[in-house]
Amino acid sequence: MSDPLGAAAFDFPALLRRHGLLHEASLLPPVSASRPASTFTPTQATTILAFKFTGGVLVAGDRRATAGNTVVYDRADKVLEIDRHSIMAIAGVPATAWEMARVLEHSLQYFRRTQLQEMSVDGKVRALSKLLRDNFGFVLQGIGIVVPIFATYDFAGDGQARLYFYDAMGAQFEVAEYAATGSGSPAVRGVLFYENRWGKKRLQKLSEEDAVTVALRALDTAAEADTATGGVDRHAKIFPLIKIISRAGIKTLPEEQIAARFKRTVA
């Protein structure tokens, strides 16, 4: 049955225009010399990486946050504990990412207390995906992009560590070996690919000490090519944040251990 009004009948803005009730020009505030267009530059955080090794999953991130070509902060926390066996590492706008992490943490905590059990791995992964989809409006405005990595331990399934990365729209991708996001990620992925393909051992066969060395080398390489990646500042004693997920839970490596490993195998 044909529609005598056509498809335009379902276009509500077009209907308002036909009746003279919508004037787009009146919806936009005028831009003048006294009220210039916005030049807001959001704070960004990069670079993060994660890979599987013999002890579980290592998740690491540099500490620098930038706004354009300005270093805003050199001690940003980009590797966040969500629950006893889950980590969310962030690249993108910290304000948005930290709020996502808080919402996700409270959601998992509420589920655990009301259902008297942990949320499934698939549930955790989809919960973060939904937060990213809900944030997509800010992404389109260029002020709220977040591209995280999520690592967790699957007790109900195969009893192995699981690792995922996401795009800005919330699509999740499970990886078998390693992941990296952020402005320094091309250099990081190159290092991880090389180590996994031609190193003395594949990443999943590395010991904890060797895994830390690979992570430090990858971030140091990224810092050489990307000004938004902080790398290591030995004078200020600023080192990447490294956490490890295993069956026993989450372990945060102390700065003293990271500094000693950096001095011995990287510097």
262 close to 99: Cβ distance less than 8 angstroms: no
Spans of all domains in the chain = 44-265
User: pLDDT tens-digit profile of 154-192?
Assistant: 988 778 899 999 999 999 999 999 999 999 999 999 999
Query: Helices H, strands E: what count in the chain?
Result: 8, 13
* Structure confidence at residue 36 (pLDDT): 52
Place 13 in a pLDDT band, splitting at 50, 70 and 90.
low
Q: Please say if 70 is a catalytic residue.
A: no
> What is residue 57's three-state secondary structure?
strand
User: pLDDT tens-digit profile of 203-248?
Assistant: 999 999 999 999 999 999 999 999 999 988 888 889 999 999 999 9
* Structure confidence at residue 23 (pLDDT): 57
Question: Can you read off the two tokens belonging to residue 176?
Answer: 């078998």
pLDDT at 267 over 90: no
pTM given for the model: 0.84
**Residue type at 159?**
G
User: pLDDT tens-digit profile of 51-83?
Assistant: 999 999 999 999 999 998 899 999 999 999 999
Per-residue DSSP letter, 8: G
Q: Of 39, 41, 43, 46, which residue is the catalytic one?
A: 46
pLDDT at 197 over 50: yes
* Structure confidence at residue 234 (pLDDT): 82
CB hemisphere CA count around 198 (13 angstroms): 4
Question: Can you read off the two tokens belonging to residue 249?
Answer: 């839970």
pLDDT at 26 over 50: no
* Structure confidence at residue 214 (pLDDT): 97
Give the pLDDT mean for 255-266.
94
Question: Can you read off the two tokens belonging to residue 153?
Answer: 């331990």
| DSSP, residue by residue, 175-228 | -SSEEEESTTHHHHHHHHHHHHHHSSS-GGG--HHHHHHHHHHHHHHHHHH-TT
User: pLDDT tens-digit profile of 108-129?
Assistant: 999 999 999 999 999 999 999 9
Q: What percent of the chain has pLDDT over 90?
A: 74
Choose which CATH entry (3.40.50.300, 3.40.190.10, 3.60.20.10, 1.20.1330.10) describes domain 44-265: 3.60.20.10
Per-residue DSSP letter, 238: B
